[in-house]
Structure 1
Amino acid sequence: MASIGEIVDQTPSAEILSRARQRAILVPDCMVEARRIANTVISGWHGRRKRGIGENFWQFRPYADGESLARIDWRRSARDDHTYIRDKEWEAAHTVWLWADMSPSMMYKSTYAGVSKESRALVLMLALAEVLARSGERIGCPGIMEPVSARNAAERLATALVHAPPSTGLPQTEMIRGASDIVLIGDFLDDADRIMQRVAPLARRGLRGHVIEVADPAEEIFPYSGRTEFTDPETGEKLTSGRAESVREIYRNAYLARRENLGQSLRRMGWSFIVHRTDHLASEALGAVHGYLSGNPPRMVPNTSAGVGA
């Protein structure tokens, strides 16, 4: 996944070691920030309640033909001329797979943002893990951590991330079995068709997907002018433009067209798509994805592409 950025030339083994050290330093701070965000907004959220097998009462609803007569609440039904079913709340834990792109392009941070794309992606993943763990859900990370149901699932995920191998794109998902949710967080700068080739089989397997595109504001507004050298953080290839402002419109059209194509393809497949800029509050994206997971999607999907600032 290419991005506007600059990296220092290193041998492959030295670069891998350097990235591992940087992540080890970054993750603890991200965990602290994730917990702060989760604590700030979780008071207004509730567990993902739904009808099913359990002990706790959820709601009364009209009886439908074919349902078991044993589920009728006769006392409630005696109050008027309708027959009511007494629903209980589903109590089985659900599995949610969380993944954040940690490839070199995610290290990018312009002067328009206070954090890198990688830092924001990790904060979103860990904050979501914290919220879901408190709701009793099972949390896993493809290729890094098997699903666990524990109050400290976010901490365990953070520890696993410190020792995770380098990321080279979308995750391997062979270990995911059965219906579950998967949340993918990254910059998704590859061609939309190429990304869809990887994620479409997941939808066919029954996974419900939620994609969060994390973008640096400079990647959208392209503020460069004059002679500018751009470096691909994935390949190290360089491109020098004598008048960078002359390609601004062409670049922006291509960048936004890629995003639009990806979003439309994901929505046609039944997945959600959220755009989040690093100069905006992490709680915006966190609230949106939690809404999708809860079955209460936001009325307006956050797309913070206008202006710079929180």
Structure 2
Amino acid sequence: MSPIGETTPALASREALRLAHERAALMPDCLVEARRVANSVISGWHGRRKRGIGENFWQFRPYAEGESLSRIDWRRSARDDHTYVRDREWEAAHTILLHADLTPSMRYRSRMSNTSKEARALVLMLALAETLSRSGERIGVPGLLEPQASRQAAERIAAALSHAGALPALPQVAGVRSTADLILLGDFLDNPADTVARLKPLAHRGVRGHLVEIADPAEESFPYTGRTEFVDPETGKSLTAGRADSIAEDYRRAYEARRETLGTEMRRLGWNFITHRTDRPASEPLTQLHLLLSGGGLATHEVRS
């Protein structure tokens, strides 16, 4: 949306193209940083494993009548009076969908942080794709890329995002299957009720969700004093405060109330809610998501980083 004047289709199209070009310019550095973060955190995530067809040994178990004799491990069976079958491991590829909010509000960066919310969301998205693809998971982006098991998942996502136009704050959810995990990265500054209304149908269908709220430290602490002009990056509307410090406490209460409401509603849906500040290492939410995706259980409270 153009920040000045009334929006027209032509202005909106040019603005979307400009944002897409700037996003594309971010991609090389974000991809390099994503690989660095992924390599520093995890040497390889294990897939969802169970007994089945595969190449790696899983376990020995007693032979059951009717099974093929070719499955018997005679060397192991010779050790005692039982006949054993050598099971192999099947690494069950799981579908994980990634979505980053890349709307204008995510471009904010204060002097308290070295990176914008948008850049951090992209790094986390690409680091997740890089790490999950190593264990054979099927990675996709709703409305942009169909899930696919590929070691080049991060590169595929970076290329697709570089050529994509305007993207919504929340993804298209019609094609999301109930067996998938959905990871959403954004600032979630919209009315929590609207966010919950969009996501509740997915939770009721059985989709497992993980929200990572990305915040600039200034958005939490509100360090402004004196006469300050605030501009909404989404609409271009501005508000001038004669003494910004006089509204600081009310702002912080409203900010925390929005966050607490969203976190509570997500937990009611059985989803996870993580908060992350851009002045903190990107490795922190990546590690937390690893734990959750590896079966570490649902968050019972807000996880902060």
TM-score norm. by structure 2 comes to 0.86
Superposed counterparts of 1:71-110, under 5 Å: 89-110=89-110
1:292 aligns with 2:287: no
> In structure 2, do the counterparts of structure 1 residues 90 and 251 end up closer, same or farther at CA, with 3 Å as the change threshold?
farther
Task: Check the 8 A contact 1:98/1:139 in 2, yes or no.
Answer: yes
Task: Check the 8 A contact 1:49/1:89 in 2, yes or no.
Answer: no
- Partner residue, 1:256: 256
Residue 185 of structure 1 aligns to a residue whose secondary structure is strand
- Partner residue, 2:52: 53
- Partner residue, 2:4: 9
Residue 148 of structure 1 aligns to a residue whose secondary structure is strand
> In structure 2, do the counterparts of structure 1 residues 239 and 151 end up closer, same or farther at CA, with 3 Å as the change threshold?
same
Cα distance in 2 for partners of 1:203, 1:238 equals 36
For structure 1, the residue ranges without an aligned partner over 5 or more in a row are 1-6, 305-310
- Partner residue, 1:24: 24
Cα distance in 2 for partners of 1:168, 1:237 equals 20
Superposed counterparts of 1:151-190, under 5 Å: 151-190=151-190
Partner amino acid, structure 2, of 1:276? H
- Partner residue, 2:132: 132
Residue 96 of structure 2 aligns to a residue whose secondary structure is strand
For residue 165 of structure 1, report the CA deviation from its aligned partner: 2.1
Task: Check the 8 A contact 1:209/1:272 in 2, yes or no.
Answer: yes
> In structure 2, do the counterparts of structure 1 residues 142 and 49 end up closer, same or farther at CA, with 3 Å as the change threshold?
closer
- Partner residue, 1:205: 205
Task: Check the 8 A contact 2:270/2:298 in 1, yes or no.
Answer: no
Cα distance in 1 for partners of 2:59, 2:274 equals 32
> In structure 2, do the counterparts of structure 1 residues 217 and 85 end up closer, same or farther at CA, with 3 Å as the change threshold?
farther
- Partner residue, 1:114: 114
1:142 aligns with 2:137: no
- Which piece of structure 1 moves more, 162-171 or 147-156? 162-171
Task: Check the 8 A contact 1:103/1:169 in 2, yes or no.
Answer: yes
> In structure 2, do the counterparts of structure 1 residues 17 and 151 end up closer, same or farther at CA, with 3 Å as the change threshold?
same
Cα distance in 1 for partners of 2:278, 2:142 equals 24
Partner amino acid, structure 1, of 2:175? M
Residue 54 of structure 1 aligns to a residue whose secondary structure is strand
For residue 72 of structure 1, report the CA deviation from its aligned partner: 12
Superposed counterparts of 1:208-287, under 5 Å: 208-287=208-287
Kindly provide the CA deviation profile for residues 57-91 of structure 1, in whole angstroms up to 9, marking residues without a partner as x. 44679x9xxxx877999x79x98xxxx99875442
- Partner residue, 1:303: 304
- Which piece of structure 1 moves more, 172-181 or 215-224? 172-181
For structure 2, the residue ranges without an aligned partner over 5 or more in a row are 6-10
Cα distance in 1 for partners of 2:26, 2:133 equals 22
Moved over 3 A (4+): 7-11, 54-61, 68-73, 84-90, 297-302
For residue 193 of structure 1, report the CA deviation from its aligned partner: 1.3
Residue 51 of structure 1 aligns to a residue whose secondary structure is strand
Residue 98 of structure 1 aligns to a residue whose secondary structure is strand
Kindly provide the CA deviation profile for residues 205-244 of structure 1, in whole angstroms up to 9, marking residues without a partner as x. 2211111000000000000111111011111111111111
For residue 8 of structure 1, report the CA deviation from its aligned partner: 5.6
Give the total of aligned pairs.
290
> In structure 2, do the counterparts of structure 1 residues 230 and 59 end up closer, same or farther at CA, with 3 Å as the change threshold?
farther
Partner amino acid, structure 1, of 2:243? R
Cα distance in 2 for partners of 1:28, 1:162 equals 10
Higher Rg: 2
Q: Percent of aligned positions with the same letter in both sequences?
A: 56
Residue 30 of structure 1 aligns to a residue whose secondary structure is helix
